[in-house]
């Protein structure tokens, strides 16, 4: 189960452990179930518990971005470690997905 906090049209979801091709399918399924409520317009992924991510994670994040974009929403990420941040930026995700720098930002 992914930890999540709902606040109005905003949903903060915490990812834990490793996000590779093996884990991607279950993470994708769970995220999709969490964002199935169409009134959710802002998805914020909290990476503070994520210790590893490879390009399979890029696919998962961009896939959820497409779902939110369809309903006029956005996806943002918070608490990326240096390694995940490198993958995030090399994939060009930074152009469409906002990077927040603290939970205070997330609540703004």
Partner 1 sequence: MNSHNEMQTTFLSVAENESFARVVIAAFAVQLSPTVSEIADIKTAVSEAVTNAIVHGYEGTRGMVTLRATIQDRSLLTIEVQDSGKGIPDVTKAMEPFYTTHPEQERSGMGFAVMQTFMDDLTVHSTPGSGTTVRMSKRIHSGGGY
What is the binding site for partner 1 (CB under 8 A)?
A: 18, 20-22, 24, 28, 52, 54-56, 58-60, 62-63, 82-83, 86-87, 90-91
CB of 108 to partner 1, least distance (A): 29
CB of 65 to partner 1, least distance (A): 11
Q: Which of 37, 39, 31 lies closest to 65, judged by CA? A: 31
User: Nearer to partner 1 by C-beta: 19 or 76?
Assistant: 19
CB of 44 to partner 1, least distance (A): 20
User: Nearer to partner 1 by C-beta: 69 or 86?
Assistant: 86
**Residue 26 in tokens:** 């279950």
Query: What span, in angstroms and rounded, lies between the C-alpha atoms of 68 and 81?
Result: 24
User: Nearer to partner 1 by C-beta: 71 or 86?
Assistant: 86
Question: In the chain, at which residue ranges do the beta strands (DSSP E only) sit?
Answer: 3-7, 10-19, 42-53, 74-78, 98-100
**Residue 92 in tokens:** 């060009």
């Amino acid at each position: 189960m992914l930890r999540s906090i709902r606040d109005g049209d905003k949903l903060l979801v915490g990812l834990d452990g490793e996000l590779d091709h093996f884990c991607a399918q279950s993470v994708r399924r769970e995220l999709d179930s969490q964002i199935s409520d169409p009134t959710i317009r802002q998805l914020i992924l909290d990476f503070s518990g994520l210790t590893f991510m490879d390009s399979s994670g890029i696919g998962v994040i961009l896939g959820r971005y497409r779902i939110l974009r369809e309903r006029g929403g956005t996806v943002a990420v918070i608490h990326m470690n240096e390694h995940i941040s490198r993958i995030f930026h090399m994939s060009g995700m930074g152009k469409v997905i906002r990077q927040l720098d603290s939970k205070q930002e997330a609540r703004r």
